[in-house]
């Protein structure tokens, strides 16, 4: 038996089957709603329940606080309907031609950017026109039905390959394979583009971008796209946080952007610099550095990507400093069966 779901104020309706995640049913019906990890960690697919009954089979998702749940916020990627449902959730405007597809890809280059970060360049079939938005991700499809999600780190239309930043996860099946066994010319199967982490073009507010670790990958693509699209009038301030200097694995690349990209600023932050780093820059948590520099966030659009703990802490802090929900877009990387960002 299915239940009807309605999204307000747009009025879109669709049917969710018993036991099916509401988000899965929405995407199947062609609804363009915000989502990211699809595993309950990032909180991007939250909507406010107006009527109806639902449940979470695995309990309260980590991407939702008890306070948010009490206020009626629901994560659609984990919610299962028990009745017809009505949510307050604004749909996104997606450009035409962005279609989720499953394709083979050949590994044409592998570059070790740090001890635990590998850059992969993937070549798609020449006959395929793979369209995506800067900030979206792809799932690598594994044997046995598993999948691992990785953000696309290069802008669309700039090259004829996809760039991925793969971080080695101890014990991770796929990332261990990448670092220990994968060779150039290997064939992978991928599905994408996925996710709704991309720059909203209907705003003129300055942009604050914040990355933790390999959360830099989608922001790299966004910045490349912003400055490749013609004259850019919105200032961009990028914050990139890591534990040690090696975690800023493309630090020199970003520093080289500054002179060539008017209006772009860059603040790297290390939480635990090593003596050999000889670090003279900012230290501490990256979200605290941004919050200290911008005590009033009401006039900015914020885009952030990285570990769920960073995203959760930043969401709470930034809300205290006046950032409206509608001016925040984020992507939280989780190590699970289906992820955005860098899976295991």
HEC per residue, 254-301: HHHHHHHCCCEEEEEEECCCCHHHCCCCEECCHHHHHHHHCCCCCCCE
Say which residues have a Cβ less than 8 Å from residue 73's Cβ, sequence separation at least 6.
46, 47, 48, 49, 64
Share of the chain above pLDDT 90, in %: 74
* pLDDT at position 178: 97
Per CATH, is 2-88 categorized as 3.50.50.60? no
Q: Which CATH superfamily is domain 101-194 in?
A: Translation factors (2.40.30.10)
Whether 340 has a pLDDT exceeding 50, the answer reads no
State yes or no: pLDDT of 338 exceeds 50. no
For residues 233 and 247, the model is more confident at 247
pTM of the model: 0.87
Spell out the domain ranges in the chain. 2-88, 101-194, 207-332
Query: What HEC string does the chain produce?
Result: CEEEEEEECCCEEEEEECCCEHHHHHHHCCCCCCCCCCCCCCCCCEEEEEECCEECCCCCCCCCCHHHHHCCEEECCCCEECCCEEEECCCCCCCCCCCCEEEEEEEEEEEEEECCEEEEEEECCCCCCCCCCCCCEEEEECCCCCEEEEEECCCCCCCCEEEEEEECCCCCHHHHHHHHCCCCCCEEEEEEEECCCCCCCCCCCCEEEEEEHHHHHHHHHHHHHHHHCCCCCCCEEEEEEECCHHHCCCHHHHHHHHHHCCCEEEEEEECCCCHHHCCCCEECCHHHHHHHHCCCCCCCEEEEEECHHHHHHHHHHHHHCCCCHHHEEEEECCCCCCCCCCCC
To the nearest whole percent, how much of the chain has pLDDT over 70? Answer: 97
pLDDT surpassing 50 at residue 211: yes
pLDDT band for 339, please (50, 70, 90 cuts): very low
Give the per-residue pLDDT at 344: 55
Average pLDDT over residues 281-307: 97
Predicted pLDDT at 342: 59
pLDDT in tens, 70-122: 999 999 999 999 999 999 998 888 888 888 999 999 999 999 999 999 999 99
Say how many residues make up the chain.
344
As a CATH number, domain 207-332 is: 3.40.50.80
111-132 residue pLDDT tens: 999 999 999 999 999 888 899 9
Residue 256 vs residues 127, 178, 260, 283: alpha-carbon distances, Å? 35, 29, 8, 22
Structure-token match 């994968």, residue found? 182
331: preceding bond cis by omega (within 30 degrees): no
139-149 average pLDDT score: 91
String of b and e for 265-304 (b: at least 16 CB within 10 Å)?
Answer: ebbbbbbebeeeeebeebeebbbbbbbeebeebeebbbbb
- Which two three-digit tokens encode residue 43? 């909180």
Of the two residues 132 and 325, the one the predictor is more confident about is: 132
Which pLDDT belongs to residue 115?
Answer: 96
Report d(CA 132, CA 219) in Å as an integer. 14
Between these two residues, 46 and 42, which has the higher pLDDT value?
A: 46
Render pLDDT for 272-289 as a digit per residue (tens, 0 to 9).
999 999 999 999 999 999
Residue 341 has pLDDT above 70, yes or no: no
């Amino acid at each position: 038996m299915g239940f009807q779901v309605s999204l307000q104020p747009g009025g879109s309706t669709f049917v969710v089957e018993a036991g099916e995640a509401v988000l899965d049913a929405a995407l199947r019906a062609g609804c363009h709603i915000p989502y990211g990890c699809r595993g309950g960690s990032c909180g991007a697919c939250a909507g406010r329940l107006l009527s109806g009954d639902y449940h979470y089979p695995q309990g309260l998702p980590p991407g939702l606080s008890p306070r948010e749940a009490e206020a009626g916020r629901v994560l659609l990627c984990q919610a299962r309907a028990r009745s017809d449902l009505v949510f307050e959730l604004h749909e996104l405007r997606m450009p035409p031609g962005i279609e989720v597809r499953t394709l083979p890809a050949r590994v044409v280059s592998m570059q070790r950017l740090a001890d635990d970060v590998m850059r992969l360049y993937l070549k798609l079939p020449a006959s395929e026109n793979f369209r995506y938005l800067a900030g979206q991700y792809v799932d690598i499809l594994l044997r046995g039905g598993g999948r691992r999600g990785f953000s696309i780190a290069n802008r669309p239309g700039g090259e004829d390959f996809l760039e991925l930043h793969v971080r080695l996860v101890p014990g991770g099946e796929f990332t261990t394979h990448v670092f220990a066994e994968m060779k150039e010319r290997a064939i992978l199967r991928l599905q994408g583009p996925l996710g709704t982490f991309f720059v909203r073009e209907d705003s003129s507010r300055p942009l604050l971008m914040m990355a933790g670790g390999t959360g830099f990958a989608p922001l790299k693509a966004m910045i490349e796209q912003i400055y490749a699209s013609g004259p850019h009038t919105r200032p961009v301030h990028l914050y990139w946080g890591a534990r040690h200097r090696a975690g800023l694995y493309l630090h020199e690349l970003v520093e080289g952007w500054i002179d060539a990209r008017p209006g772009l600023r860059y603040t790297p932050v290390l939480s635990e610099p090593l003596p050999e780093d000889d670090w003279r820059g900012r230290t501490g948590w990256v979200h605290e550095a941004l919050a200290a520099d911008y005590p009033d966030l009401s006039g900015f659009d914020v885009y952030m990507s990285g570990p769920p703990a960073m995203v959760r802490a930043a969401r709470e802090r930034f809300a205290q400093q006046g950032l409206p929900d509608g001016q925040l877009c984020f992507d939280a990387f989780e190590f699970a069966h289906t992820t955005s960002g860098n899976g295991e």
